[in-house]
Amino acid sequence: MSAFKPVRFVDVHLEGDFWRERLETVLTRTIPSQHIQLSAHGILEALTLPNPPPPLRFPRNHHNFTVQVFWDSDVGKWIEAASYALSHRRDADIESKIEDITDKLERAQAPDGYVNCWYLQREPDKRWTNLRDNHELYNLGHLLEGGIAYFLATGRRRLLGILERYVEHVRTTFGPGPNQKRGYCGHQEIELALIRLYHLTGERKHLDLASYFINERGRQPHYFDEEARRRDEDPKDFWAKSYEYNQSHMPVREQTKVVGHAVRAMYMYTAMADLAAVLKDDSLKRTLEVLWADVISSKMYITSGLGPAEANEGFTEDYDLPNETAYAETCASVALIFWAQRMLHLDLSGKYADVMEQALFNGALTGLARDGQHYFYSNPLESDGRHSRWAWHHCPCCTMNSSRLVASVGSYFLSRSDEAIAFHLYGGISATVRLAGGQVALREVSAYPWSGDIRIEVKPETPFAFDLKLRIPGWTRNATASVNGTPVSVEQGTKDGYLTIARRWQAGDVVALELPMPAQRIYAHPAVRMDVGRVALKRGPLVYCVEEADNPGGPVQRLKLPRQSTVKPERRADLFGGIVTLTADATRLQDNGWQNTLYRSDPPAETPTTVTALPYYLWANRGAGSMLVWLPES
Ligand code: FUB
Ligand code: ZN
C-alpha cells in the first residue's frame, strides 16, 4: 500500500483562473443563496423544536417516507461547504449563521447526547427504530463532517463538541456488546465521517466505531430484517425488495459487484478505502479493487456519471447506460471523487486519478450552473431541450455536494508521504506541504484544463531530497518535462501514471511539464447499445457535448459527424469567460419533403455544416435547447 495522505484543504490555495472563478461564484453566490433556500424551505426552522411541530412540508409517500428525515444532513453539508469557504476568506456573517445553527443544535441535544431534530421533534419515542430508511446515522455523519470542517477553518470547537457528545451516545448504543444494537445505517456516511474524526483527534475509538459499522454490514441475522419485525412489519415488504439497494445484501468483503443506490455505494467504498489505508487491511483493499474494476469497466458513463436508473437512484445491469434518461446523480459523481482519492492513498496509480479528474470536470461540476444558484440533480447525456436547471429541489442533497466539493477542491490536487509529494490535478494552486525532511512551498501555474502547459515552482525551506511525482494523465501522449530547463525522460521516469523526479530540491527550482491535449474521438464498448455507431469528443479531461445554442437550425440529434472530419480546438474568449470549443465539418439531416410522411425508402437529405461542441459541464446555461454527447458517426 502506498503511504500517501491527503493535503488538508486549509493548506492549498486556488490561484488559477478556472477554479478561482468557480470558487468565487460558490463563495459569493452559492453558499449565501443556499442558506436562504434552507431557510425558505423550513430546513433551518426544523432545528428548533416547537411542540407541536408544524405540518410536514413533504407528506409521507406510499412507503411511509419523507425527505424531511434527513434535513439535518442538508444543514451539515451546508456548514461543511461554508467552512471550506471560510478557509479561503473569513466571513463574519457566515460564521454567525453557523453559530446560530450551533445554538439550535445545542438546545435540541438530549441529555444523553442524542441530537436528531426529526426524531426529537416528531417521534421522540421511536429513535433508532428504523435505521434502514430513516438516515439517523447519516445525518450525524454529515453534521460531523460539517463540525470538523468548521473547526479546521476557524478553530471554533463548540459545534464539534456537540457532535462528539452525540458520537459518544452512538458508541454506547451500537456495537456487539450484550446491551447494544447490532445495527448500522441504511445510508452509509457516518463511517467516513468517523474516520475524519479519527484523523482529527487521533482517538482510536472513532476508527473502531467506523470499522464496526463496515464489518457488521450484511451479516446474518440481518439487522434490517430484525428491526422490521420489531416494528411489526414484514421484512419482505421493504420497498426496494433487496438489500443490494443499500449494499447490505452480504458482508462487504464478499461483495464483488457494484449494486444498488449509487451514492450509498460510493460513500461506503470511500470509508472502506479509508479503513484499508489506516488499518493496512489487505482484504478490504482487494475487495475495493474488484469493485473498482467492476464499476469502471461496465457501469460508468463517459462523464463519470453513475447509476442510470431513477427507480433505485442507482445501478442496473452492466453496460446499461441510457443517455437521455440517465439518472447519474450529481452526488454520486462527487462521491466517486471521494472514493478515487482514497484509492490513490492505497495505490498511487493514474487509473484512480484519471477517474477522479474525469468525475470532477464532467460528472460533478455539471451539477452547478454558471450563476452558482441553479443545479442539476440528474445528469443526462442527451436532451430534447426539456431538461433545465432548477433553483432548489425537494431533496437538496446535490446542491451542497456541489458547493462543498468546489470549496474544497484544492484538497484533491496533492497528496504527500514522508518523502514525496504527488500532484494529481493541475490548474493553478499554491500549497505548503510538510515532509519528513522539512516544509515545501509549491506553486503550480497553468491554464488547465484549457492548456497542458504547466509550471511548478518548488521551494523547500532548506534544500533536501524528496520525490516529486507528477501525474501524466491517461489521455495524453508524448508528454515532456524538464527541471530548470534540463529535460527529464517522461517515458523512463513514469510508472503507473506518475512521473517521479527524485532530486535534492532547492528554492528556485522550476519544473516544466507539457501535456499535449489533442481533441480525441472516444467510442463505447459495443455492448453499450445506446452508443453503437456513435462517437463522443474529449479534450484533456473534458468531455464535450453539442448544444443547440452553438448549433442552431433544429435539434442537435440531426447532426452527424463524419469519421474523416478533423476535430479542431478553438479558443473562444466570447464564451463563458474564455473556453476551448471543438469544431468539425459535419452534416445535418433535413426534413424538407417529409411533410405528412413518417417513413419512406429514401433517406433524408443531408447538408454540410460545422458542428461546435462545448465542454459538457457548461451545458444548459443558456436557456432551453437540445444537447447530445454521443454523436452519430458517418
Ligand atoms: O437519501 C439521502 C440522499 O438523497 C441520497 O444520497 C440521494 O440519492 C437522495 O436520495
Ligand atoms: Zn444528490
**What confidence tens digit (pLDDT) does each residue in 16-36 have?**
999 999 999 999 999 999 999
Ligand whose nearest atom lies closest to the CA of 404: 2
Q: Using a 6 Å cutoff on CB, does residue 227 contact ligand 1? A: no
- Ligand number nearest to the C-alpha of 378: 2
Mean pLDDT for the chain? 97
Last residue of a domain, one of 374, 407, 440: 407
Residue 187 Cβ < 6 Å to ligand 1: yes
Tell which residue, 261, 257, 366, has the closest CA to residue 307: 261
Q: Clarify whether 216 is annotated catalytic.
A: no
- Whether 144 and 278 map to the same domain: the answer is no
State the pLDDT confidence band at 572, using cuts at 50, 70 and 90.
very high
395, 399, 400: residue to mutate for ligand 1 pocket, most atoms within 8 A of CB: 395
CA distances (Å), 1 to each of 163, 282, 284, in order?
Answer: 32, 9, 12
What does the pLDDT look like over 156-174, one tens digit per residue?
999 999 999 999 999 999 9
* For the CA of 395, the nearest atom of ligand 1: 4
Ligand 1 centroid to residue 530 C-alpha, Å: 27
Q: What percent of the chain has pLDDT over 70?
A: 100
How many angstroms does the Cα of residue 397 sit away from the middle of ligand 1? Answer: 6
Q: Give residue-wise pLDDT tens across range 320-330.
A: 999 999 999 99
Query: What number does the ligand 1 atom closest to the CA of 262 have?
Result: 8
Band of pLDDT at residue 56, cut at 50, 70 and 90: very high
Helical segments of 300-396, H only: 330-344, 350-358
pLDDT of residue 531: 98
> Distance between CA atoms of 562 and 506, rounded to whole angstroms?
52
Q: Same domain for 460 and 598? A: no
146 has pLDDT over 90: yes
Can 397 be counted among the known catalytic residues?
yes
At 625, which helix (H) or strand (E)? none
The answer to whether residue 405 scores a pLDDT higher than 90 is yes
Please report whether residue 313 resides in a domain: yes
- Asked whether residue 490 carries a pLDDT value surpassing 90, the answer given is yes
Instruction: Report the candidate in 83, 79, 81 with the shortest Cα–Cα distance to residue 91.
Output: 83
User: Which of the residues 331, 397, 398, 545 is marked catalytic?
Assistant: 397
The predicted-structure confidence for 497-538, as pLDDT tens digits, reads as follows: 999 999 999 999 999 999 999 999 999 999 999 999 999 999
Phi/psi-derived region of residue 335, left when phi > 0, alpha when psi is between -120 and 50, beta in every other case: alpha
So what's the pLDDT on residue 51?
80
Task: Give phi and psi for 32, each to the nearest 5.
Answer: -60, -40
Angle, helix 262-279 to helix 330-344, in steps of 10 degrees: 10
User: For residue 2, is pLDDT > 90?
Assistant: no
- Are residues 467 and 333 located together in one domain of the fold? no
Residue 23 CA to ligand 1 centre (angstroms): 25
Q: Whose CA is nearest to atom 6 of ligand 1?
A: 263
Closest to 71 in 3D by CA, of 31, 101, 92, 96 = 101
Cβ of 331 closer than 6 Å to ligand 1, yes or no, is yes
Whether residues 70 and 127 fall in one domain? yes
Out of 71, 261, 338, give the residue to mutate to test ligand 1, the one with the largest number of ligand atoms within 8 Å of its CB: 261
Domain boundary among 365, 388, 407: 407
**Residue 10 is assigned to a structural domain of this protein:** no
Q: What is the CATH number of the domain that holds 450?
A: 2.60.40
Instruction: List the catalytic residue out of 227, 244, 313, 329.
Output: 313
Is 132 near ligand 1, meaning CB less than 6 Å away? Answer: no
**Alpha-carbon gap, residue 578 to 585, rounded angstroms:** 23
pLDDT of residue 508: 97
Statement: the pTM of the whole predicted model exceeds 0.95: yes
Amino acid at 117: C
Q: Which ligand is nearest to the CA of 264?
A: 1
Together in a domain, 478 and 545: no
Pick the atom of ligand 1 nearest to 70's CA: 2
Q: Which residues of 153-190 are buried (b: 16+ CB within 10 A; e: fewer)?
A: bbebebbbebbbbbbebbbebbbeeeeeeebbbbbbbb
In this structure, are 508 and 525 located in the same domain?
no
Mind listing the pLDDT tens digit for each residue in 216-253?
Answer: 999 999 999 999 999 999 999 999 999 999 999 999 99
Number of alpha carbons in the 13 Å side-chain half-sphere of residue 283: 7
- CA-nearest of 4, 11, 114 to 429 is 11
- Cβ–ligand 1 distance for 84 under 6 Å, the answer no
**What is residue 553's DSSP assignment?**
S
Length of the chain: 634
114 lines ligand 1 (CB under 6 A): no
Q: How far is the CA of 278 from the centre of ligand 2 (A)?
A: 28
69 lines ligand 1 (CB under 6 A): no
* Residue 52 DSSP label: S
Q: Closest Cα to atom 1, ligand 1: which residue? A: 187
Pocket test for ligand 1, best of 329, 333, 394, 401 (most atoms within 8 A of CB): 329
pLDDT of residue 129: 98
Q: What's the rounded mean pLDDT across residues 345-356?
A: 98
**Sequence-ordered list of residues with C-beta below 8 angstroms from that of 221, at least 6 positions apart, any chain:** none
Q: How many CB atoms lie within 10 A of CB 432?
A: 16
Q: How confident is the model at residue 50 (pLDDT cuts 50, 70, 90)?
A: confident
Domains identified in the chain, total number: 4
β-pairing, 542-547 with 627-628? antiparallel
Given strand 414-416, what is the order of strands in its sheet? 5-6, 414-416, 420-423, 464-471, 498-505, 494-495
Q: Is there a single domain that holds both residue 401 and residue 323?
A: yes
Cβ of 263 below 6 Å from ligand 1: yes
Residue closest to 223 by CA, chosen among 209, 208, 238, 211: 238
Does residue 540 contact residue 449 with C-beta atoms inside 8 Å? yes
* Cα-based distances in Å from 280 to 272, 275, 284, 615: 11, 8, 9, 39
> Which of 388, 407, 426 corresponds to the end of one domain?
407
What's the domain range around 288?
250-407
Residue 475 lies in a domain: yes
329 touches ligand 1 (CB under 6 Å): yes
Q: Whose CA is nearest to atom 3 of ligand 1?
A: 397
pLDDT band at 3 (very low <50, low <70, confident <90, very high): confident
Whether residue 329 is found in the same domain as residue 234 = no
Q: Check whether residue 348 and residue 424 sit in a common domain.
A: no
Task: Please check whether residue 609 lies inside any domain of the structure.
Answer: yes
Q: Is residue 1 part of a domain?
A: no
Could you tell me if 171 and 48 lie in one domain? yes
Q: What is the pLDDT of residue 9?
A: 86
> What sign for the dihedral angle of Cα 59, 61, 62, 63?
negative
- In the reported structure, the alpha carbon of residue 184 is separated from the centroid of ligand 1 by a whole-number distance in angstroms of 17
Checking if the pLDDT of 312 tops 80, the result is: yes
Looking at the domain assignment, is residue 2 inside a domain?
A: no
